[in-house]
Structure 1
Amino acid sequence: MNNDDVSQTPGGSGPPPPPPPGGYYQPPFVPPPRQRGSRLWIIPVVLVGLLVLVVLMIGLGLFLASLPGFEELTYGRHIALIRVDGVITAGRSESGLFSGPYCGSEDVVEQLERARKNKDVGAVVLRINSPGGSPAGSEEVYNEIMRVRKDKPVYASMADVAASGAYYIASASNRIYADSSTLTGSIGVIWDVADMSGLYKKIGFNQQVIKSGKFKDIGSPNRPLTPEERALLQAIVMETYDRFVNAVAKGRDLPVSEVKKIADGRVLTGTQAMKAKLVDSIGGMRDTIKAAAQAAGIKGEPKVVEYKRRRSIYDIFGTQTDRAVSDAERALGKHVIERLLGNEGVWPGPK
């Protein structure tokens, strides 16, 4: 075979074939280069993946930060520090963007229970900074403190405020420390019932109520309380008040009659509360910890471990979502009220 018999192809190495007779030349077919598939879709996938990774890392960090310190799991005698911070509620603790913290009784009880069961805990110190709150939530914490007291001493340290339900909690402690300017006391019960019937009449608002019994809408803002309804609510308030007074008398080892002399809702400073036997000593948290360590027989500088709420990742993201929804609802409500009242904040009257 000679070179003239070799078929020349576009990818061959020889010269192109000569043009056919007549002068017309048909160029050889060259296939277009293969197009590579577009890979721009990789960019959003990578970005989404990075975003998910960042969210997971933040969630994991919050989760680990919420766990009790590893010190709690180690051996060695220590003081358990538990905080009661914010308005007391019966349930879980939470905090909103436009509201202060809420101290859930379930969280405090759980922390007290862990401290009670931990044999390395020599004593418990409660750091209280709360104006009070739910009677039911305060009673739950009070009862758990009484259980802890059977095994180890519980000392209370009052911060700026430890009043009403917060004092209810503190009264269960073995000893109470307060700063001289601490606001405490406020032993009593209050139940506010709003009567907005005058405003509703002014703006032309009318609500029809369908109820199963005559007391089902007790406390409705659409109308004033009837004498019978007022008597029912007053009975509930007084029953709760008696339970409050008896709890303070038991916790402070005082006669009920002596507690009732100051259980009229008055607020006392730390100095006044000590004179009234509601507080044992004037001092800060360091003084309280030192005294609790001595009561527990801990020598030297006491080791203090703060007991915190144990939360799951679901709790963290669920709380953040609920908070965002609540804040959005408040913003929407504010917008609606402003639209109703007009720019000057005055109701223009029914149209």
Structure 2
Amino acid sequence: MTDTQYDNIPPGPGWQPAYIKKSRGAGFWVAVGLASFFFLCTLLLFMLFIGSLVLSKALITSTATKGKKQAAETVIEGSGESKVAIIPVKGILSNESAEGLFIEKPSIVEVVKQHLEQATCDTHVKAILLEVDSPGGGITASDIIYNQIIKFKAETQKKVVVYMQDIAASGGYYVSAAADAIVAHPTTITGSIGVIMPLINVAELINRYGIKDNSIASGNLKEIGSPLKQMTADEAAVLKNIIDEMYMQFVKVVSTGRNLDIEAVKKIADGRIYTGKQALENGLVDQLGYLEDAIGLTKKLAGLTEATIVRYEEHYGLADLFGLMSRKLFHNNTIRLDISQLQERGDTRPMYLWNGYSKRE
């Protein structure tokens, strides 16, 4: 059969000329797009993981060789070699770090300590201005910060001034009492000198529903403060003695810091809060004013006519993020996710805290 005869044979079913390409459907391209997306995401996560391990090691090495991380200095105003360092003391006072899933920030106690150490080592810093905006917090945290300030003053002979912002109550006032002078904003809420130990009792509620507490204790006072049983007179007396001791410590701190008689402090230390004006009338602050007034007073006490005002600030970059992420998730080369860290826990310990404070998000 000749070539011409082959050319005349009709094509079979489904036959298409070679030059006609079969078109791709929409589903094909969607599948390709999704596959590419997931591949790139996997690659990115892998790179982040490797980067976090490398940067974490670099951070540890850097910390060991160069010392602790220095706070960033933001210039507020002024000029000259002499500096006044503004150190913020804000939020609930605690010596526990703020932990999240990937980020762990140091406690306010540790931050203040680092800032004071930085100001101690910097010979250009001639005085400190503490910006206090806190309702207080833990007794131990408040006392540690207070003693860090006292130690700073003793070692450096540098002046410390407090500028109270919205709230400087209870533990917030406790740490303020360490300063050489206190300036309160006209709208400041301060005072709340006293101790509180939050205790919730649900004994009647659980009894109503037939729930029984079968805890076994080694002594009559072992279950003191338990929310599942009614408090006895002996238990109340024990807790009251503890509260009174912590209260007198607070009173002595105020008496020493404000140069007031113990009995005079007791009269105003009944737990009530004061406005800035009321605090001034009761000798708890030295003057009312704004930030510029506090800066002016700080410079005056330090004998400065000219100074650069800087604020210490904690900045967290990508290196910190990666380092903290790796330490959080891959401690000792083992993945760990502590779900309990994501839960809020009640606090029943004695506190220098103004309970009227509402936590701001």
- TM-score greater than 0.5 by the shorter chain: yes
Task: Report if aligned partners of 2:73, 2:312 keep a CA contact under 8 Å in 1.
Answer: no
* Aligned match for 2:108, one of 91, 104, 107: 104
Could you tell me which amino acid in structure 2 is paired with residue 127 of structure 1? Answer: E
Between 1 and 2, higher relative CO (CA 8 Å, sep ≥ 6) is seen in 2
Same amino acid, percent of matched pairs: 32
The 3 A distance-change label for structure 1 pair 297 and 164 is same
Residues 1-351 of structure 1 mapped to structure 2, 5 A cutoff: 46-53=40-47, 68-69=71-72, 76-93=81-98, 104-150=108-154, 151=156, 152-300=158-306, 302-308=308-314, 313=321, 316-317=324-325, 325=339, 329=343
Could you tell me which amino acid in structure 2 is paired with residue 87 of structure 1? Answer: I
- For residues 318 and 225 of structure 1, the distance between their equivalents in structure 2, rounded to whole angstroms, comes to 46
Could you tell me which amino acid in structure 2 is paired with residue 251 of structure 1? Answer: G
The 3 A distance-change label for structure 1 pair 313 and 76 is farther
Structure having the higher Rg:
1
Q: CA deviation at 1:288?
A: 1.1
Offset from partner CA, 1:203-243 (integer Å, 9 cap, x none):
33222102233222110011111111111100000000000
Segments of 5+ residues of structure 1 without an aligned counterpart are 1-39, 331-351
Task: Report if aligned partners of 1:127, 1:156 keep a CA contact under 8 Å in 2.
Answer: yes
User: Which SS does the other structure have where 1:88 is aligned?
Assistant: coil
User: Which SS does the other structure have where 2:93 is aligned?
Assistant: strand
Could you tell me which amino acid in structure 1 is paired with residue 134 of structure 2? Answer: S
- For residues 178 and 255 of structure 1, the distance between their equivalents in structure 2, rounded to whole angstroms, comes to 22
Task: Report if aligned partners of 2:224, 2:231 keep a CA contact under 8 Å in 1.
Answer: yes
User: Which SS does the other structure have where 2:137 is aligned?
Assistant: coil
- For residues 326 and 89 of structure 2, the distance between their equivalents in structure 1, rounded to whole angstroms, comes to 23
Normalised to the residue count of structure 1, the TM-score between the two structures is 0.69
Return structure 1 stretches of 4+ with deviation > 4 angstroms: 40-46, 52-57, 93-96, 309-315, 318-324, 326-330
Q: How many pairs were matched up?
A: 282
The 3 A distance-change label for structure 1 pair 265 and 115 is same
Normalised to the residue count of structure 2, the TM-score between the two structures is 0.68
User: Which SS does the other structure have where 1:261 is aligned?
Assistant: helix
- For residues 129 and 323 of structure 1, the distance between their equivalents in structure 2, rounded to whole angstroms, comes to 33
User: Which SS does the other structure have where 2:136 is aligned?
Assistant: coil
User: Which SS does the other structure have where 1:133 is aligned?
Assistant: strand
- For residues 322 and 48 of structure 2, the distance between their equivalents in structure 1, rounded to whole angstroms, comes to 16
Offset from partner CA, 1:174-196 (integer Å, 9 cap, x none):
11011122100011111122221
**RMSD between aligned alpha carbons?**
3.7
- For residues 310 and 50 of structure 1, the distance between their equivalents in structure 2, rounded to whole angstroms, comes to 21
Greater fraction of residues in strand: 2
- For residues 169 and 237 of structure 1, the distance between their equivalents in structure 2, rounded to whole angstroms, comes to 19
